[in-house]
Amino acid sequence: MKTLSHYLNGQLSAGQSQRTSPVYNPATGEQSAQVALATADETREAVRIADEAFVAWSKTSPLKRARILFKFKALVEEHTDELARLISSEHGKVFSDAKGEVTRGLEVVEFACGIPHLQKGEHSMNVGTGVDSYSMMQPLGVCAGISPFNFPAMVPMWMFPIALACGNTFVMKPSEKDPSTPLRLAELLKEAGLPDGVFNVINGDKEAVDVLLTDERVQAVSFVGSTPIAEYIYATASAHGKRVQALGGAKNHMVIMPDADLDQAVGALMGAAYGSAGERCMAISVAVPVGEETANRLREKLVVELDKLTVGPGLVDGPDNDMGPLITREHREKVAGYIQTGVDEGAELVVDGRQTTIDGAGDGYFIGGSLFDHVTPSMRIHSEEIFGPVLAIARVASFDDAVSMINAHEYGNGTAIFTRDGDAARQYCEQIQVGMVGVNVPIPVPMAFHSFGGWKRSLFGPLHMHGPDGVRFYTRMKTITQRWPSGIREETNHFTMPTM
């Protein structure tokens, strides 16, 4: 059995720990590898390596750092198909989705290549007589990243390109469910010319994470994952004096106004609800049609489209399926359990994904797309994140009811409104308590040069990921006020300048 381990000081490093976790191919249910789970001592060693590498890396010129990222970008482009196959074989998502994920990550690398311009600081002359003031944005030191299973390439790439470009060193702790891609990215960084020790990968679970949250050499922690863990990460790392950004779970609503282009809205909903089998923090899991007629027409069209949804392995010869399997057997059972919960709670199960026949499913963790109607805010299938291909229709009578329902939800990651009414769209953008809003755009993920982050229990910490907030997060400002009275120059001149 292949054992995946760590990447320390510029090379793959076999773990010392006796503990491992299985890695599966979700399309077949077969174990493809095991991953070493680092001990606390091994994690401390990763931090020590990164701390040592910081001395030289932080003094490397910003342009040299950016040039390495330029080369890394070219290498990732060259290896996109290979990376996408790795992602698909451990995560299960379809090949085109996996390629899309690599591309979205690459956009952050491209943004990071321009960081020398964003890290220049500010300068004011003559703030007092003979006094100038300037600020510089210095790197922090060792930064840690902890990522979830659902984007094994993109989420690490939200973090480390910016941290490295700003002059920090990094310890990445990927999800133990699909650890191969971050290890491959570490090799590509080395090939691009990154000095040993600047980027390290430690595989593990809570034991490794707890070291990253408490070791005094770690200055900042970026986390993406579920809300209970995000809250724990934020509380623990903050209590140990670290800067933290911890992104959590989500339940995203799409409002469909009576004047919306319904075909466009349905097409958007199909991709946003069922793409990547609903395992996206920006997936739409609740459709909120305004008015009974809109709801009836929407439901009718969704049923037709669901019938066409193709479910199957992520890697196939020929055209991609629409949707692959879920990440683990346990998660598949959890999603199936939520479908039963919805039925027990009194929602109407219009399409039952548990009944979908999937050709060649074997022991893979497949489940078809499900659709509920007449879902109400008090139901668990509305209040909790399912993280699977289950779309709920929650009918409302008015725009105001839609806004109130969404604002009352504990999560606030993403949302969308579909309408032809500019005023309704504008009111929605102003009133909705959600971090990322789409107008006729179902998954409003900001581009790399903007920042990504939710509100409420979808984000703990003040700064979002990548974009301007990313640069702020990975640097700290120092402001220097200096006075060189002209008298000093005259005196200096008197002693050093040759007399004419």
Taking CB under 6 A as the binding criterion, the range among 16-24, 43-51, 142-150, 423-431 that sits at the site for ligand NAD is 142-150
95 with 86: CB under 8 angstroms? Answer: no
Q: Is 166 assigned a catalytic role?
A: no
What is d(CA 371, CA 88) in angstroms, rounded to the nearest whole number? 25
Position among 142, 159, 212, 224 found at the interface with ligand NAD (CB under 6 A): 224
- Determine if 172 is a binding residue for ligand NAD (CB under 6 A): no
Among 129, 104, 178, 141, which Cα is nearest to 465's? 104
- Determine if 268 is a binding residue for ligand NAD (CB under 6 A): no
Among 448, 436, 405, which Cα is nearest to 104's? 448
Among 248, 246, 281, 255, which Cα is nearest to 388's? 281
Name residues contacting ligand NAD, limited to 418-477 (CB under 6 A).
Answer: 454, 458
- CA-to-CA separations, 429 to 255, 417, 436, 439, in angstroms, rounded: 12, 9, 9, 8
Min dist. Cβ of residue 176 to ligand NAD (A): 5
Specify which residues 216 forms β-bridges with: none
Position among 42, 51, 176, 215 found at the interface with ligand NAD (CB under 6 A): 176
Min dist. Cβ of residue 117 to ligand NAD (A): 26
- Determine if 205 is a binding residue for ligand NAD (CB under 6 A): yes
494 with 158: CB under 8 angstroms? Answer: no
Taking CB under 6 A as the binding criterion, the range among 33-41, 45-53, 147-155, 481-489 that sits at the site for ligand NAD is 147-155
Position among 64, 120, 123, 206 found at the interface with ligand NAD (CB under 6 A): 206
- Determine if 389 is a binding residue for ligand NAD (CB under 6 A): no
Position among 209, 218, 393, 424 found at the interface with ligand NAD (CB under 6 A): 209
- Determine if 150 is a binding residue for ligand NAD (CB under 6 A): yes
Which 8-state DSSP code applies to residue 97?
Answer: H
In the bound state, the residue with its beta carbon closest to ligand NAD is 225
Min dist. Cβ of residue 366 to ligand NAD (A): 18
26 with 328: CB under 8 angstroms? Answer: yes
Residue entry with tokens 């479908």:
339
- Determine if 247 is a binding residue for ligand NAD (CB under 6 A): yes
Residues 304-333, one symbol each (x = binds ligand NAD by CB under 6 A, - = not), give ------------------------------
- Determine if 144 is a binding residue for ligand NAD (CB under 6 A): no
236 with 213: CB under 8 angstroms? Answer: yes
What is d(CA 51, CA 143) in angstroms, rounded to the nearest whole number? 9
Taking CB under 6 A as the binding criterion, the range among 144-152, 159-167, 415-423, 489-497 that sits at the site for ligand NAD is 144-152
Task: Identify which of residues 105 and 148 has a Cβ nearer to ligand NAD in the complex.
Answer: 148
HSE-up of residue 188 (Cα within 13 Å, Cβ side): 25
Q: How many Å from the N-terminal Cα to the C-terminal Cα in the chain?
A: 84
Q: Which amino acid is at 180?
A: S
- Determine if 388 is a binding residue for ligand NAD (CB under 6 A): no
Task: Identify which of residues 75 and 445 has a Cβ nearer to ligand NAD in the complex.
Answer: 445
Which 8-state DSSP code applies to residue 316?
Answer: -
Among 296, 290, 386, 277, which Cα is nearest to 348's? 296
- Determine if 149 is a binding residue for ligand NAD (CB under 6 A): yes
Position among 21, 32, 58, 226 found at the interface with ligand NAD (CB under 6 A): 226
- Determine if 20 is a binding residue for ligand NAD (CB under 6 A): no
Name residues contacting ligand NAD, limited to 36-95 (CB under 6 A).
Answer: none
- Determine if 138 is a binding residue for ligand NAD (CB under 6 A): no
Min dist. Cβ of residue 298 to ligand NAD (A): 25
- Determine if 266 is a binding residue for ligand NAD (CB under 6 A): no
What is d(CA 455, CA 427) in angstroms, rounded to the nearest whole number? 18
Give how many residues touch ligand NAD by CB under 6 A: 27
Angle at 389 between CA 273 and CA 465, to 5 degrees: 60
Structure tokens that stand for 342 in this block: 């919805």
What is d(CA 495, CA 491) in angstroms, rounded to the nearest whole number? 7
Sort 350 into a burial class: Cβ within 10 Å, 0-12 / 13-18 / 19+.
middle
Rg (CA), the chain: 25
| Catalytic residue annotation | 281
Q: Which residues bind ligand NAD (CB under 6 A)?
A: 146-151, 155, 173, 175-176, 205-206, 209, 224-226, 229, 247-250, 281, 385, 387, 413, 454, 458
